[in-house]
């Protein structure tokens, strides 16, 4: 029953994914792992449409924050105001107090406003004027980011990046998918409202079941070896954190469950490694000048780390 609901979710996302099935699957991985997603790409490739469709398919409350240089932290978290008639202070919730929050063009707002999301993303609460306000379940931030070489952007700090489970790159759709969009005038027509594809109790059951997928000791040791190798790599000034290691295993569990498999295999970890780990690495300046990237380093470390039960080089 759960797999049927997840298949329906995947199909509804595929309708607006423009042929990029891997991206639709990764979003569902994030849902099952209860993680946040950073989508980096140029404008106009369907980032916002995909996130809006996900909210509709899940049947959850949805808010959108359009980031600008003058956006204030209180515009995100909310604020308290004084009511003279009642002589009390009242909290006005910000848009972050929703189930699914689209933070559009996150790197176009100031570091101070970016930081206002940290507590929400990690602790599932916001603190305003000393009062904690819990966030609803499920809670998920899907942020979009324009490439850093575009004017008017602020780089995201490492602490912010480390709180995103996945960092995805949509890329352009293939010619066939884009031609179908053009024939349907998809750029001009608003997608119809979608009925929820999964009930709230089914979503809770699915997230719990996904994180109960077994991870054998050899597979866990393999993940640890990869993580430790990033911390000792000479081209990196910062390797994968313990939070990143936990996130990697959670994502692999979710991927295995989504594919209706009964345990986490090394292939699950390897397939999703770049999406989970690459944005957590800080490449040394001299290595970056040679063209080294976080993604290339993840692939290098994976290639050098022997699989469980295999001798090096095999």
pLDDT tens digits, residue range 159-197? Answer: 888 999 999 987 777 777 667 767 765 445 555 667 788
- Which pLDDT belongs to residue 194? 73
- Which pLDDT belongs to residue 10? 80
Domains of the chain: 2-72+99-108+138-203 (3.40.50.300), 211-304 (1.10.8.80)
Checking if the pLDDT of 153 tops 80, the result is no
Q: What is the distance between the alpha carbons of residues 49 and 190, in angstroms, rounded to a whole number?
A: 9
Query: Which tokens is 246 given?
Result: 């936990």
Strands 88-93 and 282-283, bridge-based pairing: unpaired
Checking if the pLDDT of 46 tops 50, the result is yes
- Which pLDDT belongs to residue 152? 67
Checking if the pLDDT of 63 tops 90, the result is yes
Q: What is the distance between the alpha carbons of residues 229 and 301, in angstroms, rounded to a whole number?
A: 7
Show the CA angle centred on residue 71, arms to residues 51 and 108, nearest 5°: 60
| Size (the chain), residues | 314
- Which pLDDT belongs to residue 313? 40
pLDDT digits (tens, 9 = 90+) for 301-313: 999 999 887 444 4
For residue 126, give the nearest of 92, 154, 156, 89 by alpha carbon. 92
pTM score of the predicted model: 0.88
pLDDT digits (tens, 9 = 90+) for 3-43: 888 888 788 777 776 767 888 899 999 999 999 999 987 66
Helix (H, G, I), strand (E, B) or coil at 282: strand
Average pLDDT, the chain: 86
- Which pLDDT belongs to residue 311? 43
Among 100-114, 141-155, 207-221, the minimum mean pLDDT is found in 141-155
pLDDT digits (tens, 9 = 90+) for 226-266: 999 999 999 999 999 999 999 999 999 999 999 999 999 99
Q: What is the distance between the alpha carbons of residues 31 and 142, in angstroms, rounded to a whole number?
A: 11
Show the CA angle centred on residue 18, arms to residues 13 and 19, nearest 5°: 90
What value does the mean pLDDT take over residues 268-282?
Answer: 95
């Amino acid at each position: 029953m759960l797999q049927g609901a997840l298949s329906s979710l995947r199909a509804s996302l595929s309708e607006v994914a423009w042929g990029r099935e891997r991206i639709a699957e990764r979003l569902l991985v994030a849902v099952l792992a209860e993680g946040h997603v950073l989508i980096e790409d140029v404008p106009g490739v369907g980032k916002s449409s995909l996130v809006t469709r996900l909210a509709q398919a899940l049947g959850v409350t949805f808010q959108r924050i359009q980031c600008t240089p003058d956006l204030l932290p209180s515009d995100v978290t909310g604020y308290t105001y004084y009511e003279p008639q009642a002589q009390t202070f009242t909290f006005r919730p910000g848009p972050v107090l929703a189930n699914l929050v689209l933070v559009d063009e996150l790197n176009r707002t100031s570091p101070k406003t970016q930081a206002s999301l940290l507590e929400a993303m990690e602790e599932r609460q916001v603190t305003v004027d000393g009062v904690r306000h819990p966030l609803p379940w499920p809670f998920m931030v899907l942020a979009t980011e324009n490439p850093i070489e575009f004017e008017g952007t602020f780089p995201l700090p490492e602490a912010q990046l480390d709180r995103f489970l996945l960092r995805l790159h949509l890329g352009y759709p293939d010619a066939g998918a884009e031609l179908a969009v053009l024939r349907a005038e998809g750029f001009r027509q608003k997608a119809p409202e979608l009925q929820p594809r999964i009930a709230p109790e089914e979503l809770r059951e699915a997230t719990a079941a996904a994180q109960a997928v077994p991870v054998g000791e050899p597979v866990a040791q393999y993940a640890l070896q990869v993580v430790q190798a990033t911390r000792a790599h000479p081209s990196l000034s910062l390797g994968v954190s313990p939070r990143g290691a936990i996130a990697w295993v959670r994502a692999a569990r979710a991927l295995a469950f989504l594919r209706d498999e009964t345990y986490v295999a090394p292939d699950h970890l390897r397939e999703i490694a770049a999406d989970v780990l690459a944005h957590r690495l800080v490449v040394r300046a001299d290595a970056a000048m040679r063209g080294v990237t976080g993604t290339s380093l993840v692939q290098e470390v994976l290639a050098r780390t022997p699989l469980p039960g295999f001798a090096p080089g095999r």
